[in-house]
């Protein structure tokens, strides 16, 4: 049976969207059934139908998780297995201590087996390889 994956993300600047689209593109090339869900825009979704759930967020203000992402967590209503978290951030705001802090908090909340993927601004260039390597590890259960 083919794996079914959800990529739910929130993006204001477009950076988190870029990561989500990179993940989706690579998964589709591997013939993985993937759905993109724009948090705060798309209607509520039943996450129980997915084998893996990727949640993408940016870090807001002083290390905060955006309200729309918190609402998505409440909408889901439980902590599904197999959640992996990715985040985009900018070390010039808050330095290393707050870099992608929202992704870290979400990964901890979901007891994710995987370290959150942290991307400085856009995933372009050498960071594309990091995105792909992280995703392979999640999908292969590593």
* pLDDT tens, position by position, 54-101: 999 988 777 789 999 999 999 999 999 999 999 987 766 656 667 788
Query: Which strands sit side by side in the sheet containing 52-58, from one edge to the other?
Result: 33-38, 4-9, 52-58, 83-89, 117-120
Query: Has residue 142 got a pLDDT over 60?
Result: no
Mean pLDDT across 16-45: 93
Q: Is 8 helix (H, G, I), strand (E, B) or coil?
A: strand
Q: Where are the beta strands (DSSP E) in the chain?
A: 4-9, 33-38, 52-58, 83-89, 117-120
């Amino acid at each position: 049976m083919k794996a079914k994956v959800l990529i739910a993300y929130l993006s204001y600047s477009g950076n988190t969207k870029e990561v989500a689209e990179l993940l989706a593109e690579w998964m589709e090339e591997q013939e993985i059934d993937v759905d993109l869900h724009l948090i705060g825009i798309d209607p509520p979704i039943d996450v129980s139908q997915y084998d893996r759930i990727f949640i993408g967020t940016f870090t807001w203000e002083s290390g905060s998780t955006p309200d729309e992402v918190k609402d998505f967590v409440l909408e889901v209503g439980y902590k599904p297995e197999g959640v992996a978290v990715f985040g985009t951030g900018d070390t010039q705001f808050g330095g290393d201590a707050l870099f992608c802090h929202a992704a870290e908090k979400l990964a901890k909340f979901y007891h994710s087996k995987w370290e959150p993927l942290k991307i400085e601004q856009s995933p372009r260039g050498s960071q594309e390889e990091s995105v792909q390597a992280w995703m392979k590890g999640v999908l292969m259960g590593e």
